[in-house]
């Protein structure tokens, strides 16, 4: 069908090794093959930094849109809107980006940028487009609830195609005169919205989600999409064999060990997290460490075997008493194995395993000083735990500092590369006292 606009509401270019290792460009190449018409800038588009984002924008054969991201002097960071003609209908599409971006990516990625209130910006877009087009589409990376509020606050938007909140909207929702759609996450669905436009107005519409299932036919092996995918898979395999450093001793990531005690590998990982984030302390889960590293050369593949998940480093502010509560939780199952067992940096913990769970911690020292219950500490962890994963509910009650968008595996790689031969600390940071 030639009368189609193919739109993406952001967060397209980050998340898997094949994409991350090549700075997002593989996805841009695939989107070009698929003939996307436009994409809103999501917060994860900034994960590689502004220079790489602009490089991807130049490689894209479609516009990156955001009307509310501007430089300090007020000039646009990227294009604000585009006008398309589809089946004789003129469609104006403008983009909006979540104002939370500065705290859901690393601060260095947004230096010199402002993320303006989307409501007045949307009103200006409607005013600018009215008279030029038949219908107006907002390509939004704001979240479903914000999209609905925007539809109320800014009359004149015919359609909002949304993202960010990962909401599955099975049927289009009408708010005032605005049709609001969103199709979840990870391409589990493709959203289809059919519009009939008469006299410059939407006369009727129909919308649905198509579930993407494993049994759908794969692209033909010689198709541009399949060729591109195989090209980057092969390039990734080469990268995984690259040596990044060396260790003279085995680094212990055995399941039974990282879920019950401090190891030299857990110390290495948490130290890398603390250096990268600049946090006072680090608390991450032993269950996220999935393998050991033998003495000798360390390859990128070794690191990704140890840290296979796409967890990113998050920094939060937490009072000392909540840090202690989180530590109590991580030690609650000891001596039994627990995926949420706490691995730390920047602090040492003594605990009495004979005491009831929840009252085992005897001493916590931060930089050699007793932890202060009502003092705010910057704590680095991973995004899974920051969202309450492994039962760390205290982290969901914290003050966000930033979500770097940078994977733990990449941070550990850079940390090892900077040192060449690593000497993993062996001190017992979580110490049981009988």
Q: Average pLDDT of 421-426? A: 94
pLDDT at 15 over 80: no
Q: CA-CA distance, 404 to 46, in Å (whole number)?
A: 10
Tens of pLDDT, residues 34-87? 999 999 999 989 988 999 999 999 999 999 999 999 999 999 999 999 999 999
pLDDT of residue 387: 86
What percent of the chain shows pLDDT beyond 90? 86
> For residue 178, what are its two tokens?
């605005």
Question: In a 3-state reduction of DSSP, which class is residue 198?
Answer: strand
Question: Tell me: the pLDDT tens digits for 279-326?
Answer: 999 999 999 999 999 999 999 999 988 998 778 999 999 999 999 999
pLDDT at 102: 85
pLDDT at 108: 81
Confidence band for 106, pLDDT divided at 50, 70 and 90? confident
Helices (H) and strands (E) in the chain, counts: 13, 25
Please tell me the number of Cα atoms within 13 Å of 228 on its side-chain side. Answer: 16
Summary mean pLDDT of the chain = 95
The Cα 430–Cα 202 span in angstroms is 63
Mean pLDDT value of segment 94-115 = 89
User: pTM for this one?
Assistant: 0.77
Specify whether the backbone of 200 is left (phi greater than 0), alpha (psi in -120 to 50) or beta.
left
**Mean per-residue pLDDT, 177-185:** 96
Cα dihedral value 137, 141, 142, 147, nearest 10: 30
Strand pairing category for 89-97 and 135-141: parallel
């Amino acid at each position: 069908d030639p009368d189609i606009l193919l739109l993406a509401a952001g967060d397209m270019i980050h998340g898997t090794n094949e994409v991350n290792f090549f700075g997002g460009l593989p996805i841009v190449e695939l989107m070009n093959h698929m003939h996307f018409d436009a994409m809103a800038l999501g917060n994860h588009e900034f994960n590689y930094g502004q220079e790489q984002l602009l490089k991807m924008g130049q490689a894209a054969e479609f516009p990156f849109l955001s009307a509310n991201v501007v430089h300090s002097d007020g000039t646009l960071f990227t294009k604000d809107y585009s006008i398309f003609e589809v089946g004789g209908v003129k469609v104006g599409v403008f983009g909006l980006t979540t104002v939370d971006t500065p705290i859901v990516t690393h601060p260095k990625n947004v230096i010199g940028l402002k993320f303006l209130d989307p409501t007045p910006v949307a009103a200006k877009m409607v005013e600018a487009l009215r008279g030029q087009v038949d219908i107006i589409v907002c390509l939004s990376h704001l979240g479903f609830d914000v999209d609905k509020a925007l539809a109320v606050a800014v009359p004149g938007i015919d359609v909002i195609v949304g993202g960010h909140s990962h909401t599955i909207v099975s049927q289009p929702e009408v708010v005032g005169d605005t049709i609001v759609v969103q199709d979840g996450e990870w391409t589990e669905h493709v959203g289809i919205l059919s519009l009939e436009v008469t006299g410059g107005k939407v006369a009727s519409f129909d919308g649905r989600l198509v579930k993407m299932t494993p049994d759908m036919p794969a692209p033909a092996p010689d198709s541009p999409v399949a060729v591109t995918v195989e090209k980057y898979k092969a390039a990734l395999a080469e990268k995984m064999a690259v040596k990044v450093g060396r260790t003279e001793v085995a680094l212990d990531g055995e399941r039974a060990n990282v879920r019950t005690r401090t190891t030299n590998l857990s110390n290495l990982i948490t130290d890398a997290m603390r250096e990268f984030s600049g946090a006072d302390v680090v608390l991450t889960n032993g269950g996220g460490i999935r393998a050991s590293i033998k003495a000798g050369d360390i390859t990128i593949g070794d690191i990704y075997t140890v840290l296979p998940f796409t967890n990113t480093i998050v920094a939060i502010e937490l009072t000392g008493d909540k840090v202690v509560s989180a530590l109590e939780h991580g030690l609650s199952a000891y001596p039994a194995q627990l995926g949420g067992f706490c691995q730390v940096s920047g602090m040492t913990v003594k605990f009495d395993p004979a005491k009831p769970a929840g009252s085992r911690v005897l001493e916590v020292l931060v930089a050699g000083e007793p932890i202060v219950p009502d003092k705010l500490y910057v704590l680095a962890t991973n995004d899974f735990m920051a969202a309450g994963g492994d039962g760390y509910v205290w982290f969901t009650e914290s003050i966000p500092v930033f979500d770097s968008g940078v994977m733990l595996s990449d941070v550990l790689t850079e940390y090892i590369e900077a040192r060449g031969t690593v000497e993993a600390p062996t001190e017992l940071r979580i110490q049981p006292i009988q």
